[in-house]
Structure 1
Amino acid sequence: MRHLLAAALALTFSAPARAADAVVVRGHKDRINAVAFTPDNKTVATGSTDKTVRVWDAKTGKELLSLEAHTGAVTGLAFSFDGKKLVTGGYGPRQKGTEVFTGEVKVWDVSSGKLLQTMEKTNLAVEAVAFDPNGRQVAANSGKLVHIWDVMTGTRKVTFEGHTDPVRGIGFDAQGARLVTAGEDGTVRVWHPDTGKLIHTLKGHQGLVLATAVAPNGVRAVTGGQDHSVRIWNIETGKEEAKLTKHGGPVSGVAMNPDGKNFATASGLDGTVRVWETETGKEVRILRLPKESKGPCRVAYAPDGKRLAIACFDNSLRVYELTAE
């Protein structure tokens, strides 16, 4: 299950000399679908269509751990708030006689790479996963449904029904009081995680909602859409606070700075990652991606807010040093 492959893989990286430079890490054999930092800022994990999850040193690009994680593509991953566990979601086996894949959700021990729990399989492939703040539950979609499992037992506790098309993004607030989901039906939904009760349905995007991130204070969520827009929502009131339209392509990646003051959005088709002020919606930074990064991108903020990790369909991970001169 666990492979330390750093010596065998061809990794390339360069130390950041200015804001536009990045540590570039290559090792996956297929596109990267998910990226997340550990809470200690030191490492970053990626999940790929090559069926593996890999953990890298965020400063050097050295591979630290590789997991043969799923029977199909790994499409979502998230660390627990204490950094000790990693949840992964993805594609399971194809259902007999159909083109439909089952879904898999697994929980791992980060230090050892040991598989801790395999959740009850879902009927459809998983696209997004999240840990709740106390690390006792994980959420993941199965098509248009969202499920919550108990980490210790692997049993399903709650199912959320309301989206009419597949869910693409999931996020808890830092208190575990709300779960936010983003769907291909063009809606963003806010739920009570313990009961599955729908609190708000947020409408505004024209087309698929591709990604979401929740501010740590639990007041705001940010979403990116196929319509090239970024929306800031007040999830207490259910109101849209801002519509940001500077991207020139679908926004497939959204990440919140853990202090809640800024967030980042990524559009591989317009070749940019943009950093915004959460309170005002003001754009404060643009990172321009290389041409080979065209296509959907995922983005993750380091917990200290000093780095951004960006993974695109060119099979590479780029870690930008935001504090570089």
Structure 2
Amino acid sequence: MLKHVKSLSGHQNPVYALANSGKEGIFFTGGNDKGVVEWSLEKMSFLKVLMPVKSSVYSLHYYGDQLFAGQRSGEVTVFDFTTQTVKTTFQAHEKPVFDIVVIPSKEEFLTASEDGTVGVWSLIDNLLLYRIPVSYDTVRAIAISPDGEHAAFGCKDGMIRIYNLTDYSLEHTLEQHTLPVTSVQYSPDGKYLISGGRDAQLNFWSLPTYEFKHNIPAHLFSVYGIAFNPVLPYFATASQDKSIKLWGADDLRLYKILSIEKNTHGHTHSINKLVWTPDGKYLITTGDDKLVMIWSWE
């Protein structure tokens, strides 16, 4: 199961964003510090402030030697690792950018915002292709289906909206959460979609029909992150209730709770993001306590 390896300090303020890199053992964080930080898993330490930004960083996404940072200001900054410089900064939305996801097959990327829209951008020149009016309120989270054909948008109005990526048409509106949807994730085998919300619930939707199948009262407060292990049949969830939970991806059973209240190592405040390393060996978590925690698979 999961065991605490190290707690890394360096941030002076809450951390909202976390992303792996294309380089083994390197990952990035961002938050209220107005800078994106690069870390080393090998050294278990802070490496450097990769780049300054004008406002808090709410989302990070790495793809093709570029790191995309979505900010509270509505700006997106793109850092190019080939040239080791900021490639561009542009005003993607009028309000904060909560999530960024790349669609490699289309050479496009999506930005989700508090303004209720999703921006569709060209990966080649970062120009706006479409703006989809998804909700009257915040679009908080994006997930792309494993076959690359659909996008799930988790919204503040409690809905999950499923769009066809061929023509960006709305195909399904999923209603089950009683409060805002804060996280969405497709299972790697493409069998189901999981959604987590401020109602502390995990809901499971079977594919390809998106029929509601199962519900777990998973946490005490908002579910801020869902991450599938890339190698093993497990997924982890992180919550505002300061706990990390490990679940079986096939049987949906709870296998482990990592929380100070359960007398394990844990965060002292809300956990805002979690990612597995690409080899599935480590889980990285971060949140309002300004710490980055590394957990290893035992």
Q: TM-score, normalised by structure 2?
A: 0.76
Report what 1:280 is aligned to: 209
Tell me, yes or no, if the aligned pair for 1:257 and 1:303 is still in contact at 8 Å: no
Distance 1:153 1:245 in 2: 45
SS for the counterpart of 2:58 is: coil
SS of residue in 1 equivalent to 2:44? coil
Unaligned runs of 5+ in 2: 254-298
Could you list the per-position Cα deviations for residues 61-106 of structure 1 after superposition, in whole angstroms to 9, with x for gaps in the alignment?
x1123221422111011223565321211111xxxxxxxxxx2212
* Residue-by-residue CA offset, 1:296-319 (whole Å, 9 max, x unaligned): 532222224722211111111111
The answer to whether the aligner puts 1:303 opposite 2:230 as a matched pair is: yes
Q: CA deviation at 1:193?
A: 2.3
Q: 1:181 aligns with which of 100, 106, 111?
A: 111
Shift in Å, 1:222: 1.1
Considering only aligned residues, what root-mean-square deviation do their CA atoms show, in Å?
Answer: 2.3
Report the equivalent of 2:138: 208
Query: Over residues 115-167 of structure 1, what are the superposed CA-to-partner deviations in whole Å (9 max), with x where a residue is unaligned?
Result: 445232111100111111x4x11111122011110235542113343312111
Aligned equivalents of 2:217 and 2:32: distance in 1? 31
Matches within 5 A, 1:106-121: 106-121=37-52
Q: Does residue 1:234 correspond to 2:175, yes or no?
A: no
What is the count of residue pairs matched by the alignment? 251
* Matching residue of 2:16: 75
2:168 corresponds to 1:168: no
CA distance 1:154–1:69, change in 2 (3 Å)? farther
Q: Secondary structure at the match of 1:252?
A: strand
| 2:122 alignment counterpart | 192
Q: Which residues of structure 1 form unaligned runs of 5+?
A: 1-58, 93-102
Matched residues in 2 for 1:222 and 1:296: separation?
16
Q: Does the 8 A contact of 1:254 with 1:266 survive in 2? A: yes
Residues 1:68 and 1:174: Cα distance change in structure 2 (over 3 Å): farther
Q: Measured at CA, do residues 200 and 128 of structure 1 come closer, stay the same or move farther in structure 2, by a change above 3 Å?
A: same
CA distance in 2, matches of 1:282, 1:128: 29
1:233-281 superposed Cα distances (whole Å, 9 cap, x missing partner): 1233121121101111100111232344432110132x31112234321
Is the Cα contact below 8 Å between 1:200 and 1:235 reproduced in 2? no
Structure 2 match to 1:88: 29
% identical equivalent positions: 27
What do the CA deviations read for 1:181-217 (whole angstroms, capped 9, x no partner)? Answer: 1100000112112311112212231311111122344
**Shift in Å, 1:219:** 2.8
Q: Which protein is richer in strand relative to its size?
A: 2
Q: Is the 8 A contact 1:274 1:285 kept in 2?
A: yes
Secondary structure at the aligned position of 2:181 is classed as coil
Does the Cα contact within 8 Å between 2:76 and 2:92 map onto a contact in 1?
Answer: no
Structure 1 residues 301 and 320: alpha-carbon distance in aligned structure 2, compared to 1, 3 A threshold? same
Q: Cα distance 1:321–1:70, how it changes in 2: closer, same or farther (>3 A)?
A: same
1:127 to 41, 58, 62: 58
**Is the 1:87–1:138 contact (alpha carbons within 8 Å) kept by the matching residues of 2?**
no
